[in-house]
Structure 1
Amino acid sequence: MARDSTGYTIGFAVAVCVICGIGVAGAAVALGPRQAENKVLDQQKQVLLVAGLMKPGQQATPEEVTALFTKNIRREVITLKTGAEDKAIKAETFDQRRAQKDPATSTTAPENAAKVFRLPNNALVYHVLKDGKTDTLILPIEGYGLWSVLYGYLAVDKDANTIKGITFYAHAETPGLGGEVDNPKWKALWPGRKIYDDKGQPALTVIKGRAGDPKTDPHHVDGLSGATITSNGVSNLMKFWFGKDGFGPYMAKFKASQGRS
C-alpha cells in the first residue's frame, strides 16, 4: 500500500491511537497505587494541619506524616442519620467522597443553601487524642461557593461547640477574593468561635464587614472582602453540616458522652 494512499493514512492513524492508548492505560494502571497513596497522605496532612500538629509549609517525609498521624489521630466511621458509630465499616479504608457519589451508599440531600446534593450514609470523623482521650474533633465540610465546591475540615474542641481551626484544601474560587478562604490571616479569625447558640442551633455566620472578638461575638466571622457569595457559601455549609441533616446528631451524642465521662 502506497504511503500517500488514504488507506495507509487511516491505518497509520489507527495504529498510533492504539499504541498511545495502550501507553496511557498502562501508565494509569502503573501509577494507580502511587496516586492512591498520595491521596491518603494528603488527607493525613490536611487533618494534621487543621489539628495544629503540623505547621503550614512544614517539610516532612511520607513516613513522618504517617507516623505523626497514627500516633495522634483515631478515625471513626459514623452513620450520619443517627450519629452512632458504624463498626461494620473499616475506618482506615473508608472513602467518604466516593461513598457520597455512589447511589448504593448515599441518599439525595434535602434542599439546602449549601447546595449539597447527595449525602453519604456514613461519614468519617477524626479524633485528635491527648492522653488517650479525644481532645479535638476534625470533621469534613463542603459546600458551594461562587464558582466551585469548597472542601475542607473543621477542628472542634471536645465541648462539641468551640472551633479550634478550619482549612479548605480544594476549591476553585477567585484568587484574591473567594480564594482567600486559604489565607492564614482569615483562618486565624476562627479559633474560639462557637458553632451553636444557646438553643443548640447552628449559628456561626460569616458576616459582611468585621466581627467582634470570639468572646464578645462568638457566632460571627469577618467576611471575605469582595467575595460576598463565597462568604455566604461558608455560612451555608456550616449551618448545613452542623444541623440535623449533617453532623448534628453526632455532635449531640458526643457532647452527651463527654458529660458522662
Structure 2
Amino acid sequence: MNRNSNAYTFIFAVIMVIVVASVLAFTATSLQPIQNENVRQEKMQNILHTVGIDVERSQAKENFDKYIIKELALDSKGKVKFEGEKAFQVDLSKELNKADTEQAFPLYIADVKGEEYYIIPLRGTGLWDAIWGYIALKNDVNTIKGVVFDHKGETTGLGGEITKAWFQQRFEDEKIFDSAGNLVGVSVVKGYGGGSNKDDNEVDAISGATITGDGVTRMISERLKHYLPYFKSKTDMKVAVK
C-alpha cells in the first residue's frame, strides 16, 4: 500500500486509535481495584476522624475494625434494613435520588475508650456541586463530637474552605437540638456573634461563601432528621427527642 495515500493514513490512524484505546482500557481495568480500595480506606479515615482517631490510609482498616462496633443501614422508620459490609457500601449519591421511604440511611457506631458515638453520613449541595461529609454525635445524641466535610467543585479559598480543620472545629460540642428538644441542626451564620456559645445551634460562616455555608446548614438538618425514629427507639438516650 502506498504510504503517501489517504487510505494508508486513515487505516494507520484507525489502528493507532484502537491500540491506544485498548491500552487505556486495560490500564483502567487493572487499576480499578486499587482505586476502589483507596476510596474505601479514605472513607474509613473520614469516619474515624469524626471521633478523634486520625490514622494513615494504610492503617485505616485496622483501626476501623477496632473502633467501629456496628455498621447499620436504617429504613425511614428507624429499623435496621441490613448491616455490615452491605451497609458500608451504601452510596448516598444514589440514595438521594430515591423517595425518603425507599432510602437506606447508614449509621456507624463507634466505641472509643468506653465512650459510644453515632456517626452519620451527610450529603447535600453547595454553590457549584455536591458537598458531603460525616458528623459524629456523642452518646446523648445531641452534642457533636466532630465533623468532616468535603466537596466536588466549591471555590478554592471560599466555599472550598469547608474542608479545613479550623472550620470543622467550630462544630465540636455544638448541639443539634434546641432547648425545647426540637431538631434544628447547626446553622452556618454570616456575621455570627455568639463567640464560644455551644448551645445556640450556630457557628460562624466562611467569609464570601454564604451559599456553600447554607448548603452545609441544610445538609446537616436534612440528613439528621431521618435518624429521629432510630434515636427515639433508644430509650437510654439522654436527650428528649421530638
**TM-score above 0.5, yes or no:** yes
The one of 162, 182, 195 aligned to 1:181: 162
Question: Is residue 107 of structure 1 aligned with residue 98 of structure 2?
Answer: yes
| Contiguous gaps of at least 5 residues in structure 1 | 110-118
Give the aligned partner of residue 112 of structure 1: none
Q: What is the TM-score when the length of structure 1 is the normalising length?
A: 0.81
Residues 37-76 of structure 1: matches in 2 within 5 Å? 37-54=37-54, 60=56, 62=58, 64-76=59-71
Give the aligned partner of residue 78 of structure 1: 73
The one of 187, 194, 200 aligned to 1:212: 194
> Could you say if the C-alpha distance between residues 183 and 94 of structure 1 is closer, same or farther in structure 2, counting changes exceeding 3 Å?
closer
Give the aligned partner of residue 247 of structure 1: 227
Residues in 2 aligned to 1:147 and 1:100: alpha-carbon distance in whole angstroms = 16
The one of 216, 219, 226 aligned to 2:208: 226
Residues in 2 aligned to 1:96 and 1:240: alpha-carbon distance in whole angstroms = 18
Indicate if the aligned counterparts of 2:119 and 2:136 stay in contact, CA closer than 8 A.
Answer: yes
| Contiguous gaps of at least 5 residues in structure 2 | none
Shift of 1:91: 2.8
Secondary structure of the residue aligned to 2:170 is coil
Question: Is residue 3 of structure 1 aligned with residue 3 of structure 2?
Answer: yes
Aligned AA (1:4): N
Give the aligned partner of residue 113 of structure 1: none
Question: Is residue 21 of structure 1 aligned with residue 2 of structure 2?
Answer: no
Indicate if the aligned counterparts of 2:188 and 2:205 stay in contact, CA closer than 8 A.
Answer: yes
Residues in 1 aligned to 2:199 and 2:26: alpha-carbon distance in whole angstroms = 56
Secondary structure of the residue aligned to 1:143 is strand
**Deviations along 1:120-161, whole A, 9 cap, x unmatched?**
621321111146x66111111011111121111111111111
> Could you say if the C-alpha distance between residues 179 and 102 of structure 1 is closer, same or farther in structure 2, counting changes exceeding 3 Å?
closer
Q: CA RMSD in A?
A: 2.5
Question: Is residue 143 of structure 1 aligned with residue 124 of structure 2?
Answer: yes
Residues in 2 aligned to 1:120 and 1:169: alpha-carbon distance in whole angstroms = 25
> Could you say if the C-alpha distance between residues 173 and 65 of structure 1 is closer, same or farther in structure 2, counting changes exceeding 3 Å?
same
Indicate if the aligned counterparts of 2:87 and 2:106 stay in contact, CA closer than 8 A.
Answer: no
Q: What is the TM-score when the length of structure 2 is the normalising length?
A: 0.87
Q: Which moved more, 1:167-176 or 1:157-166?
A: 167-176
Q: Identity percentage over the alignment?
A: 29
> Could you say if the C-alpha distance between residues 222 and 86 of structure 1 is closer, same or farther in structure 2, counting changes exceeding 3 Å?
same
